[in-house]
Structures are given as C-alpha cells and as structure tokens.
Amino acid sequence: IFFSFVGFEDLVKMAEETESPRTTLPRAIVVSAIVVLLLYLLVAISAVAVRSPEKLAADAGPLAAVMGELVGSAGGTALAAVALFATSKTILSNIFGTSRLLFDIARDTDAAFLKRLTRIVPRFGTPVLAIGVVTVVAIGFGMIGDLSAVASISNLCVLTVFTMVNIGLVVWRCRHPDADPAPFHLHLRIGRVPVLPVLGAAGTLVMIGFNIGNLVAGIGS
C-alpha cells in the first residue's frame, strides 16, 4: 500500500525549475504530505461507513465494492477507470522525477558512459536519454506480470532512496556542525545529531524489511 503514498518526494527533483527552492520545496513537501494523508484518511472513514472492515478485507477491490454498493455496478466501473488514470499519473511522475535524478547524477559524475545521459533536447531542455533509460527499465519491471511484486520492488527502491537521504543528512550535519542552518529546518537534535532524520531512517529500514518479506512471500507462493 506504500506505493499509493509516493510521489511528493519528486518535488525535490524539480528544484532547478523552482523559484526559491530552499524555502519553497520543504513547505510544498510538508503541505502535500498532509493533504494526501487527510484525503486517504477521509476515504478510509467513508469506506468503513459503507461496508464493514471484514467485508473490505475480503474484497479484491474494496473501493470499487463500496462504489458498487452505493450506486450500482456503474459506480464500480467508473472508479476502476479513475484508478487506471491515477495509476498512469503515478507512473509518469515517477519516470519524470527519476529521469531528472539520473540526469543530475550523470552531470555530476566523472564516468564518461554516464555523461551521455546528460543529453537534452535543445528546444525544451528535456533529458531525453535519461527519460528513455528510465522508461525502458519501467517497462522491463512491468513485464514481470505480478503487480504485487512490481509494487514491492518500487517500494524498495523508493524506501532505499529515503533511507540514504536521511542517513546522508545525519552524516552531513555531524561533519559540518558549523554550517549555516537551512532556511527551513526543525529544531530537534541531540548534540550534533538531528533526531528526525534518525527516526526517518529507522522507520524506512523497518518498512524495507516488511517489503522484502512480502516480496519473498509472493515469490514463494
């Protein structure tokens, strides 16, 4: 289910196209995460108000079943169509953000073979080769055919990035304690160690463990 919550972190990858990114992006991430949390909470409350948790757990498509119970089969079909478009949006945003990340890595590396990924379309500034590579990889994962396995692999990749970012922030703060504070930060630390990134890294490591367990269980079945 974690797959449904990703996407807000892609805002960071668009820092170069954003005005005042040092202050704008952190606030945008926090606000978007809160909005998504509230929307999912309202959807969950609405679902259990229509069908019991036991029935929802047994349904292959819980929300479609809720819509079907409220407005008939047409409602379930309409919701399935909306979900299809929403999933496409998630995939496109992931390709969009990951290609920018790959472009940045290629630009900052000294490896000649990666430098080719910095090629852009002059008119639009689009990293066409990076987008192509990410798209091919995404298609390859899609050919696995098991949606649960693909979602677990995607979760593992995203959670690994989250863990590396949190650990990287802790290491950077410990190595550069006298650096100018960021315009947007939370005053919660023990000595030189910021507490929230440590908790974030610990939480993502736990979720990585759960995803690996689900992936192994799915392969075993």
Give pLDDT tens digits for 23-57: 888 888 888 888 888 988 898 898 888 888 888 88
The Cα–Cα gap between 52 and 181 comes to: 49
Residue with tokens 């606030």: 27
The Cα–Cα gap between 171 and 201 comes to: 12
Per-residue model confidence (pLDDT) at position 150:
78
Distances (CA, A) of 136 to 111, 130, 187, 193: 21, 10, 42, 40
- Contact (CB, 8 A) for 149 and 158: no
What is the pLDDT confidence band of residue 5, given thresholds at 50, 70 and 90?
A: low
Look at 135 and 191; give whichever has higher pLDDT.
135
Per-residue model confidence (pLDDT) at position 181:
62
Q: For the residues 65-69, what does the mean pLDDT come to?
A: 81
Per-residue model confidence (pLDDT) at position 205:
92
Given a cut of 70, is residue 137 above it in pLDDT? yes
- Highest average pLDDT, of 49-58, 93-102, 131-140, comes from 131-140
pTM: 0.67
Average pLDDT, the chain: 80
Residues 6+ apart with CB under 8 A from 35: none
Per-residue model confidence (pLDDT) at position 163:
92
Per-residue model confidence (pLDDT) at position 180:
63
